[in-house]
Each structure stands twice: as structure tokens, then as C-alpha cells.
Amino acid sequence: MTRISQNPLIEASSEKTSAEPLLNKDNDDYLKIWEINFTPSKNKKLYGDRREIEKEKKIEEAITKILREKFSFRFIILDPHVERMGSKGLESALIGTLASCKLCKPSPNWLGNYSPVQKIRESGLWLVQHLKADPVNEKDKEIILKAVEETRKWLKL
């Protein structure tokens, strides 16, 4: 799915967040249009004529290219009973750990430096939720280590 499909989950996705710095870096006025949530029909009616679908496709292609060429991803398989999301979840603790890390800094040419969102620029992370969350604790470490072990087994490593 793409942003053009108007999937509400995509509207809040990292694709949208990743495009904003790309447009901001180029001082592209289309940023104002890109920031509009076109999921509500009211916004579609009010601002839909301002959209440039071909331009949006090119923006999405540029983001995809960056993700494929510059990023690598890792995963772990978590026990289904592990609380993953929310303020008490493992995700929150992992984000809190990264956000509070004094040694963890983005590179000077990180695209997020051009984000119009101040918290993204300041934190060095592509999100704004859970930045002040408690870091990973001993229980979380045990969960992560077990998940890494299970993932290695699953991958047959």
C-alpha cells in the first residue's frame, strides 16, 4: 500500500515522516500539502484539488530508494505474551533507551536533521512517542536475550 491509497495507518507511518525532511531539505512548498491528512473526506473535498499524485509517487519512490540503499533492518521474534506496545511495552523501553543514550547520535547528513518536527531533529530518532520513557530494565533484557535466542533457532543460525 502507498500513501495514495489513503490507508489511515499509512498516513501516520514513517513514510509520511520520512518525506517531510526530504521536502523541507529542498525547500519544497509541497510540504504544506504533504502534511495534510487526506483520510477524512472533509480534507479530501477541501484540499484534494491541490494534490499532485505524480509528484507524490516520485516522493514515495525516492523514500523507497533511500530505505533500500541506506537502511538495514533487524528483527526478533517475541513471545506472544510479552507486552510490546504502549507506555509499559518493550517498544517504549527500547525507544527510551536510545533517546537517553549520550553516545548515540545521528550522522551530520542524517535526513532527519531537515525534519520540520523539532522533536525528531533533537532526538535523532524518526518518532516522537516514548522519548522520555524509562530505559530497558533487567526484566526487559531477559526478554530480549530470550527473543534473540529463539530468533536464532527459528532462523537456524
Residue 57: in which H helix or E strand, if any? helix 53-70
**Percentage helix, strand, coil for the chain under 3-state DSSP, each rounded to 5:** 55, 0, 45
In the structure grid, which three cell numbers stand for residue 92, read together? 517504549
User: Are 58 and 10 found together in one domain?
Assistant: yes
pLDDT of 12 over the 80 cut: no
Per-residue confidence at 20, pLDDT binned at 50, 70, 90? confident
What domain range includes position 22? 3-70
Is 79 part of a structural domain of the chain? no
Number of structural domains the chain divides into: 2
**How confident is the model at residue 130, as a pLDDT?**
93
Per-residue confidence at 84, pLDDT binned at 50, 70, 90? confident
> How many angstroms from the chain centroid is the CA of residue 56?
18
Is 81 part of a structural domain of the chain? no
33 Ramachandran zone, left/alpha/beta (phi>0; psi -120 to 50): alpha
**How confident is the model at residue 14, as a pLDDT?**
54
Is 136 part of a structural domain of the chain? yes
Domain termination residue (choose one: 70, 102, 125): 70
- The model's pLDDT over 102-128, given as tens digits with 9 standing for 90+, comes to 898 888 989 889 898 899 998 999 889
